[in-house]
């Protein structure tokens, strides 16, 4: 009988969202968090499909979303990343802070694709040619847990395009950049583990500073961007003694934001040294 | 390593009648940018800098034991044509392997350059492989700004490209081992630290460290203080992997970083009077580095033991050499640590330190 409809057809509103609906949805997600989208319309008092609520939130209402006014630098980056990654919009959007994959896709299809094609193709028409080999064998590049949701959305949006334009070489990785400042780690270094646990939560929840952090979603960049100038900058974050330890420090820095326990373990090891 | 011997005081004022006994000059018929010392032979590779498809790589021989102006000369038999100006040249760091020279331009090329025979009848270098990562459907290429040959794992070459990626090549098999979207803007330089760890600098103003065992993350160890000031060059101290040096665009400063204390430089070296163009660590000393710039000076610095010992008024260089013209490139020979090479205008100069 085919796929089950996401919601009943009767009584569901379609078309443009009103500001009242936007406010109701934003207030609900702010109070209850994302997820369980099927239940959101009923609980938020919206006559909308849960799927529509999710898409409205992700592409329009989420904090730090920027729509429109794509700058020249952003255009240039989109063109270069599209040449590199093809139609994997979630990966491209991941490199542009505040942009969604949906907006990048629409912008490319309505504006950039035609412009870029005019320069590239013979006779001014732009033709997408699939690579001869390797497109099916190549695994999709992953760009970190924070972009998994966007990845799924992108693949659902363009399953055919995503398959035909993957790179024929090895998969392309997009490492998430983790900004490390001495002060941040000095701060943790000077406090007890319990105190560090208490202060970590408001920092993560406070957000801020996400604009400068590329390659991260908003959920992760808020933590990564926290910068505290506490303690002396002359002291290294970790003990530098012993050969071969220095690279462990760098790996520990990179993984710190994923797990506080790694940090505490390194701190203990540093104290023992 | 002994403290570097000072060059003669007549260096800056020497004419043809009083040559500097520690500096030897070779003139070539074109501007020069890329330089590379061979790890096995007293040979220096230089790449021309002509805004043209036709460029040339010249191999120059020198005598490290009894140097003379006559012994520092080009080897016509071992020079070859190269498409586009090479952005970087580097020999295979493993001495026992066949003598290979890598060059980066529109793509990465590996040349077989046998250096056993330096006579005029030597066999010519030949192009061994072209490592091109373009998609089959694309006629564009993303030029390579730099590359680095992994000394610990010599089958690996990491390239930096203006398309924001760093690519790690397995040159034995001629395939891409890994490609990473390393930065948000063009990547200008790359340097290996360990077998699986490299760092890169970018037009986005950051220095980032990558570990091939964890491709999901990279670590930003420095960001330029003024927003959107690109970083141009990166040198990782191979004698003490805690330290890196970086150059900012249109800046006379050399930024020295300690990766154990990220974010804030250990020292900023501020004695160049114009833009700094090149930086290199001493191959066998842990705290010496050399920088060169548009003021025509090559400066050798000695860093203090600890960051706390950096004086407030800044560090003075221990040696100064004045070339008389803007210096574009600098290389410090690992096989002959007493020698370094600089490139300015159409000249390559060999300096004894």
Residues in chain A closer than 8 A to B137 (CB atoms): 128-131
What CA–CA distance (Å, rounded) separates B119 from B110? 22
B191: domain range?
22-274
Task: Give the closest of B181, B209, B241 to A95, CB-based.
Answer: B181
Residue B324 domain-assigned? no
Look at residue B7 and tell me if it is in a domain.
Answer: no
State whether B197 and A179 contact (CB < 8 Å): no
For residue B138, the chain A residues in CB contact (below 8 A) are 83
Chain B residues whose CB is inside 8 A of the A179 CB are 220, 223, 263
Q: Look at residue B352 and tell me if it is in a domain.
A: no
Taking residues A77-93, what's their average pLDDT?
Answer: 84
Domain A8-63's class?
mainly alpha
Residues composing chain B: 353
Q: Does A148 reach chain B within 8 Å, measured CB to CB?
A: no
Q: Pick A84's closest partner by Cβ from B165, B217, B260.
A: B165
More confident residue, A10 or A32: A32
- Asked if residue B351 belongs to a domain, the reply is no
Please give, rounded to a whole number of angstroms, the shortest distance from the CA of A79 to a CA of chain B. Answer: 10
Task: Please provide residue A231's backbone torsions phi and psi, each rounded to the nearest 5 degrees.
Answer: 85, 175
Helix, strand, coil in percent for chain A, rounding step 5: 55, 0, 40
- The answer to whether B159 contacts chain A (CB < 8 Å) is no
Mark yes or no for CB contact B204/A171 under 8 Å.
no
List the single residue in B179, B197, B263 with the smallest CB-CB distance to A180.
B263
DSSP letters for A131-163 = -SSSTTTSPPP---GGGHHHHHHHHHH-HHHHH
Of A131, A177, A238, the CB nearest to B208: A177
**Residue contact A182–B242, C-beta within 8 A:** no
What distance in Å separates residue B136's CA from the closest CA in chain A? 5
CB–CB contact B181 A132 (8 Å): no
Task: Give me the pLDDT at residue B205, please.
Answer: 94
Does the beta carbon of A229 lie under 8 angstroms from any beta carbon of chain B?
no
| Residue in A167, A181, A251 closest to B262 by CB | A181
Contacts of A167 in chain B (CB under 8 A): 135, 179
Report yes or no on B320 lying in a domain. no
Q: Closest-CA residue in chain B for A249?
A: B260
Q: Return the CATH class of domain A69-113+250-272.
A: mainly alpha
CB-nearest to A131 from B136, B142, B193 is: B136
CATH number of B70's domain? 2.130.10.10
Ordered per-residue pLDDT tens for chain B, 353 residues: 334 444 433 344 334 435 678 899 998 998 999 999 999 899 999 999 998 888 999 999 999 887 888 889 899 999 999 999 999 999 999 777 788 999 999 989 999 888 888 888 888 998 979 988 766 656 667 899 999 999 898 989 999 998 899 999 998 889 998 889 999 889 999 999 989 999 999 999 999 999 998 888 899 989 888 777 899 999 999 799 989 999 999 999 999 999 888 888 989 898 898 999 999 999 978 889 999 999 999 999 998 877 778 788 788 998 899 899 999 999 999 988 889 999 998 999 989 87
CB spacing of B185 vs A167 below 8 angstroms: no
Phi and psi at residue A93, to the nearest 5°: -65, -30
> Measured between CB atoms, does A11 come within 8 Å of chain B?
no
B145 contacts B160 by C-beta, under 8 angstroms: yes
Put simply, the answer to whether A129 touches B137 (Cβ < 8 Å) is yes
Closest CA to A200 of A140, A259, A119: A259
CB–CB of A129 and B262 under 8 A?
no
- Chain A environment of B133 (Cβ under 8 Å): 169
Task: Provide the mean pLDDT of chain A.
Answer: 57
pLDDT for res A203: 31
Radius of gyration for chain B, computed over Cα atoms and rounded to the nearest angstrom: 19
Outline which parts of chain A fall under CATH 1.10.10.60: 8-63, 69-113+250-272
The proportion of chain A whose per-residue pLDDT surpasses 70, expressed as a percent, equals 40
Interface list for B 122-151 with A (CB within 8 A):
133, 135-140, 142
Question: Is B305 in CB contact (< 8 Å) with chain A?
Answer: no
Interchain contact, A81 vs B164, CB within 8 Å: yes
**At a CB cut-off of 8 Å and minimum separation 6, what does B141 contact?**
B106, B107, B132, B134
- Residues in B touching A95 (Cβ below 8 Å): 164, 181, 184
Q: Which of A37-46, A136-145, B207-216 has the highest mean pLDDT?
A: B207-216
For residue B5, tell me if it sits in a domain. Answer: no
Q: Do A180 and B220 touch (CB under 8 A)?
A: yes
Tell whether B195 lies on the interface with A, counting CB pairs under 8 A.
no
CB neighbours of A189 closer than 8 A, spacing ≥ 6? A231, A237, A267
> For position A97, what pLDDT does the model report?
86
pLDDT attached to residue A20 = 79
Number of domains making up chain B: 1
What does the pLDDT average to over A249-269? 49
pLDDT-wise least confident of A45-49, A199-203, B266-270: A199-203
Per-residue pLDDT, B55? 95
CB atoms A238 and B307 under 8 Å:
no
* pLDDT at A198 (0 to 100): 30
Q: Which candidate from B179, B258, B307 shows the least CB-CB separation from A169?
A: B179
- Contact list in B for residue A144 (CB cut-off 8 A) is 216-217
């Amino acid at each position: 009988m085919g796929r089950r409809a996401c919601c009943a057809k009767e009584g569901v509103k379609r078309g443009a969202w009103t500001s009242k609906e936007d406010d109701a949805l934003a207030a609900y997600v702010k109070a209850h968090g994302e997820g369980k989208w099927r239940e959101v319309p009923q609980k938020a008092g919206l006559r909308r499909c849960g799927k529509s609520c999710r898409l409205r939130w992700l592409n329009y209402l989420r904090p730090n979303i920027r729509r429109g006014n794509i700058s020249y630098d952003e255009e240039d980056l989109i063109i270069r990343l599209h040449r590199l990654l093809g139609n994997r919009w979630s990966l491209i959007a991941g490199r542009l802070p505040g942009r969604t994959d949906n907006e990048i896709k629409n912008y490319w299809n309505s504006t950039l694709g035609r412009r870029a094609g005019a320069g590239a193709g013979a006779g001014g028409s732009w033709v997408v040619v699939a690579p001869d080999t390797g497109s099916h064998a190549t695994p999709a590049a992953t760009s970190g847990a924070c972009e998994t949701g966007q990845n799924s959305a992108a693949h659902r949006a363009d399953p055919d395009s995503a398959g035909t334009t993957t790179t024929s070489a090895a998969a392309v990785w997009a490492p998430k950049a983790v900004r490390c400042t001495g002060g941040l780690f000095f701060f943790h270094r000077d406090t007890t583990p319990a105190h560090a646990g208490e202060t970590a939560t408001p920092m993560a929840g406070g957000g801020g500073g996400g604009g400068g952090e590329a390659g991260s979603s908003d959920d992760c960049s808020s933590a990564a961007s926290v910068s505290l100038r506490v303690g002396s900058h002359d002291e290294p974050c970790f003990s530098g003694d012993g050969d071969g330890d220095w690279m462990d420090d760098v790996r520990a820095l990179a993984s710190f934001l994923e797990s506080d326990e790694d940090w505490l373990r390194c701190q203990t090891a540093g104290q023992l040294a | 390593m002994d403290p570097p011997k000072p060059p003669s005081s007549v260096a800056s004022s020497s004419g043809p009648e009083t040559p500097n006994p520690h500096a030897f000059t070779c003139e070539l018929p074109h501007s020069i940018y890329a330089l590379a010392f061979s790890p096995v032979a007293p040979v220096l590779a230089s790449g021309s800098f002509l805004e043209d498809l036709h460029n040339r790589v010249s191999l120059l021989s020198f005598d490290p034991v009894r140097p003379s102006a006559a012994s520092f000369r080009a080897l016509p038999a071992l020079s070859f044509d190269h498409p586009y100006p090479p952005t970087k040249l580097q020999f295979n760091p493993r001495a026992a392997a066949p003598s290979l020279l890598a060059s980066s331009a529109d793509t990465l090329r590996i040349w077989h350059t046998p250096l056993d025979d330096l006579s005029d009848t030597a066999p010519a270098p030949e192009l061994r492989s072209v490592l091109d990562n373009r998609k089959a459907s694309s006629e564009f290429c993303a030029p390579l700004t730099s590359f680095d040959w992994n000394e610990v794992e010599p089958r690996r070459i990491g390239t930096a490209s203006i398309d924001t990626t760093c690519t790690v090549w397995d040159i034995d098999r001629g395939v891409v081992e890994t490609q990473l979207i390393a930065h948000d803007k063009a990547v200008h330089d790359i340097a290996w630290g360990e077998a699986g760890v490299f760092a890169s600098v970018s037009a986005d103003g950051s220095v980032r460290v990558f570990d091939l065992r964890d491709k999901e993350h990279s670590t930003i160890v420095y960001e330029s203080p003024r927003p959107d000031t690109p970083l141009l060059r990166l040198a990782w101290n191979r004698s003490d992997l805690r330290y890196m040096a970086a150059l900012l665009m249109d800046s006379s400063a050399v930024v020295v970083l300690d990766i154990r204390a990220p974010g804030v430089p250990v020292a900023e070296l501020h004695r160049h009077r114009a833009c700094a163009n090149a930086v290199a660590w001493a191959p066998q000393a842990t705290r010496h580095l050399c920088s060169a710039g548009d003021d025509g000076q090559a400066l050798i610095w000695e860093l203090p033991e600890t960051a706390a010992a950096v004086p407030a008024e800044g560090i003075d260089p221990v040696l100064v050499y004045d070339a008389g013209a803007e210096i574009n490139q600098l290389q410090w020979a690992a096989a002959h640590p007493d020698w370094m090479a600089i490139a300015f205008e159409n000249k390559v100069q060999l300096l004894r330190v």
